[in-house]
Amino acid sequence: MAKRSRKIKKFVVFELIFLFLIIICLGLYFYFENETKTNKKIYYDLKNEVKTKNKELDERNSKLSLLDEKIETYKDIDNSINKIRSDYFKAIKDLEDKIISGQSNKKIAYMTFDDGPYFNTYKVLDILDKYNVKATFFTISANGQYCHDNKTEDCFKLYKEYVKRGHTIANHTYTHAIFKGLYSSSDSFMEAIIKQEEHIKAQTGGYVTNITRFPGGSASAGKLKNDIIAKLRNRGYGWVDWSAGDGDGGGLSSNEQAFANFKSTINDSIEVILFHDYSKYTTAILPDVINYLKENEYEIYPLFYESNKINK
């Protein structure tokens, strides 16, 4: 009986051990099964994330490719614009030559504005836009960054505006200091030319001008004139005075006087007209000026270096 009891105990112990092992095995199975599911989920999540990132990368590469194509297109546009501008000035030069030689009865007016930019220049530009007229702006920087006629406005922004609207920018020296050292020597004059040249490039992002006008006119240079002209020529500049205007540099008292002055100076088949873009009188009569020129069969153009009116 005791022997049988020992056998039963051994069997029970064996059964308990076996059951315990089964429980451990089941526990391990479910543990690893859960870990496998978790790892599979992580794997598929990572796989989907990689797929999404690759898609985003492909989209970005596609956008970069399109951007590169646009940049190349813009380069072509710049070249096309320069070609059109060159052809445009060549056609005007051909017309000039025919007018001078008597082969054409047409007339040309070159409209120029000195001493800007001013805040009032915006009004001038808007009028020119309205009548589809392009002009030349002889710029200075002595007035400073903020407009002389509106100290809350940044006038240097107008340099890009000139280019944007298709006008010609010309160099009128940085200082315009006629009585304060500009004409003390040819070197002082050239320093003011070079400084304004660099300023124009900086404000426009690279616009290059090769046209200048002596502040006060070339006669203001006196005995220095020939030396200055030689130095301008060496730097690739041509210069121009004027043949017509309304007297807006000083002494006007009414719009009527300004317009009468202007009409009395329009006599030649090719005119270079002097205005100032700070003048309220010029701004007021500008629509009438444009209409008068057109009625008298003048084509209105901006100046360009190759023109016969530019002294080289």
Q: HSE-up of 210 (CA within 13 Å, CB side)? A: 13
Cβ–Cβ < 8 Å for 278, 115 = yes
Q: What is the pLDDT of residue 50?
A: 72
Q: What is the pLDDT of residue 60?
A: 73
The pTM assigned to this predicted structure is 0.77
Q: What is the pLDDT of residue 88?
A: 94
Q: What is the pLDDT of residue 18?
A: 66
Q: For residues 252 and 256, what is the distance between their CA atoms, to the nearest angstrom? A: 9
Q: How do residues 275-291 score in pLDDT, each as one tens digit?
A: 999 999 999 999 999 99
Q: What angle do CA 246, 252, 255 make, to 5 degrees?
A: 70
Counting DSSP H helices and E strands in the chain, the numbers are: 7, 10
Q: For residues 160 and 142, what is the distance between their CA atoms, to the nearest angstrom? A: 18
Helix orientation angle between 255-265 and 280-295, rounded to the nearest 10 degrees: 40
Cβ–Cβ < 8 Å for 283, 116 = no
Low-confidence residues in the chain, pLDDT < 50: none
Q: What is the pLDDT of residue 233?
A: 98
Could you tell me how far CA 115 lies from the centroid of its own chain?
A: 20
Q: Where are the alpha helices (DSSP H) in 102-155?
A: 121-130
